[in-house]
Amino acid sequence: MIQKTQIIDVDTTIEDIHRTRERLAAKFGGDIKAILEDARQRQAASGRPTWQGTAANKSVNRSGNLSAD
């Protein structure tokens, strides 16, 4: 059973996410490329390790297996 305090915490977190999105959109005039570039610069400046995934969009056949390209 979800307790009332958990719901309040989730709502507060979601509201914080929306405020952050609105602040960034206003700062960069809604330019998603500028927002992304700023995020990349802040990420690089942080010095924290980041996850580097493999290349996306690999072909998958109908069985769900990767296709041999």
Residue 35 CB burial class (10 angstroms; 0-12, 13-18, ≥19): middle
pLDDT one-digit tens code per residue, 13-49: 899 999 999 999 999 999 999 999 999 999 999 999 9
Residue of higher predicted confidence among 10 and 30: 30
Structure tokens at 14: 């979601």
Distance CA 11, CA 19 (A): 12
Residue spans per domain, the chain = 4-46
pTM above 0.75, yes or no: no
